[in-house]
Structure 1
């Protein structure tokens, strides 16, 4: 693809216009969703969450742009929240709020892992113990309401070593999700594998253009600039959506049929 050979600074100059256009399409898609159409719920952390666009903000979660990929009769409700783990999202009552809205025929994409690694008591889980048990409950409770759960592994962080090799940062959490998906016979969006392969292809320098890097004075929000290798800008969130759509096309034919057709 042509943009892969563009320097990250050049890429960023077009993000404002991309974001404005995307916002318009997003509002149109949501407003036009039919009452009896498909509803897709998203639960997860900051890499998936909706981010404010005003005052101007370069950060986007990949779930924020996902409505643009579906036909108008698909309504996406993004309940992902910054800093939450599979434990804290439930403990704070956020999962119950989602369950109150879930109906038969709905879909729920579940992606945690970034904050389950954190050492604090409020968020930490063990990959093959409490993390797996938490996700299993999300799956079973979704099914109890007649809805269909989809498990997703966490997107990778941009961590390259001195030799330019991308290093894993999520430990056993992605593998725990893969094993649970198989055990529960739930669709799996392997965002870890897809995003890892993308960053490897781009390499250390070009992959920076997907993440929340800004120059001093570029945004009032980051007067001294910003160097964030976990969260995405508009382009990075779009590329993560590309990967999610590819996984959906490959693994979930019912949802794949609802993706927008090429115009």
Structure 2
């Protein structure tokens, strides 16, 4: 099917102090507009274009951007929108024939660059990316939107800088923006449950621990952009518990708690609000159909630090246990990657359910966050999950047979 032509308006005549808005519309040729064919490939010099049949990119400096889409056309349409590393922004927005609707959300984009430390000062000039991260949508100089659905239709796009609070996510492969289907994590599903008044900056990465996240300058990157009024979600433990990783192992009674408190202190020093999260449990059933705990004393350590330091807590460990047991040993596999062979990493369905859990507890974490959780995200009962057979989400075009790293 031939895609329509996009028209681009760059408001470059605005004063230097004004914000610049980029407008893309489906329209006839008009003075002041640059016509962009639907098959025009992205070019870094031009600064915009299509990555493939579904993904459109615009070169922009790192920061938060409000994206406003006009959806609909003469025929009925249903459009799902993802951004950057497959972050779910809009889910199955339906428009009747001849009608349109406008939806907005905020996308956070970033590069690996860090402010270079002064001469002779320790530190680094960039995040130490893994080979699999280099060139990914998570760490480039573009804002990428992916339009999905058999009957999708986007008729207008507007992009402008957004001055909104940012919710920073730190963690491992169960949180990160998984780069390819069929894997998914709760961090990349979370934006779907939040309104356009807050941005999600998912800095989590596969295989990370509290210590490696710091030594690879990932925490430095988040802190370099953090401002008063922002939030920092902290979920570690999957890999910190691995004694076979001697350089990053953290004892749950001593060093793990100390590392958590360092993250909390760094957030508070910048006027941000820290929130601790216990790890999703692994899917290990016993003969009686009960989940066998795999995280040892780590969830208890997170709870203790939250209690002692007055930090909000999202206790995912017991919620995910309830979720898996409610599905049962046979159906619980339908929430996991690699056709259920993977017992740690989730697929779109599992990640979506856990993101709903997180959103429901964000609503209870304080009024500042509660106001940004959409009505449909404010309550979740893990004992009565949505049946996996009824869940449908269009898959991204980026697919991989490789299992996620870590855990």
TM-score by length of 2: 0.54
Task: Give, in whole Å, the separation in 2 of the partners of 1:69 and 1:144.
Answer: 28
Does the 8 A contact of 1:34 with 1:74 survive in 2?
Answer: no
- The whole-number CA distance in structure 2 between the counterparts of 1:34 and 1:183 is 38
Q: d(CA) in 1 for partners of 2:241 and 2:270?
A: 30
Show the counterpart of 2:345. 231
2:314 to 189, 200, 221: 189
1:98 matches 2:222:
yes
1:140 paired with 2:253, answer: no
Determine if contact 1:33/1:75 at 8 Å carries over to the other structure.
no
Deviation at 1:249, TM superposition (A): 2.1
**2: distance between equivalents of 1:33 and 1:48?**
27
Q: Which stretch shifts more, 115-124 or 148-157?
A: 115-124
CA contact (8 A) 1:79 1:98 kept: yes
Q: Which of 30, 41, 48 does residue 106 from structure 2 map onto?
A: 30
Deviation (angstroms), 1:252: 2.7
Cα root mean square deviation, aligned: 1.9
Which structure has more relative contact order (CA 8 Å, sep 6+)? It is 1
Aligned to 2:325: 200
Q: 1:250 to 1:93 in 2, by over 3 A?
A: same
Deviations 1:119-142 (A, max 9, x none): 212321100111000000000110
Match of 1:251 in 2: 365
- After superposition, give the CA deviation of every residue in 1:181-228 in whole Å (9 maximum; x if it has no partner): 0111010000112111111211111111111132xxxxxxxxxxx710
1:155, 1:129 → 2: CA distance? 22
CA distance in 2, matches of 1:42, 1:162: 36
Q: Could you tell me how far 1:87 is from its partner in structure 2?
A: 1.3
* Corresponding pairs, count: 230
Structure number with bigger Rg: 2
Q: Which residue of 1 aligns with 2:354?
A: 240
Q: Any gaps of 5 or more consecutive residues in structure 1?
A: 1-19, 215-225
Structure 2 residue matching 1:23: 3-state secondary structure: strand
Q: Partners in 1 of 2:366 and 2:324 — Cα distance?
A: 24
Distance 1:105 1:140 in 2: 15
Over 3 Å counting, the alpha-carbon distance change for 1:210 and 1:106 in structure 2 is same
Map of 1:1-263 to 2, 5 A cutoff?
21=80, 23=82, 26=89, 29-31=105-107, 35-53=162-180, 57-119=181-243, 120-214=245-339, 227-262=341-376
- Partner deviation per Cα, 1:88-131 (whole Å, 9 max, x = no partner): 11122211111111111100000000000112123211001110
Distance 1:34 1:199, change over 3 A: farther
Q: Distance in 2 between matches of 1:261 and 1:141?
A: 32
Distance 1:195 1:152 in 2: 12
Larger relative helix fraction: 1
8 A contact 2:193–2:376 mirrored in 1? no
Structure 2 runs not aligned, ≥5 long = 1-78, 91-103, 108-158, 378-407
Between 86-95 and 76-85, the greater mean CA deviation after superposition: 86-95
On the 8 A contact 2:183/2:338 being kept in 1, the answer is no
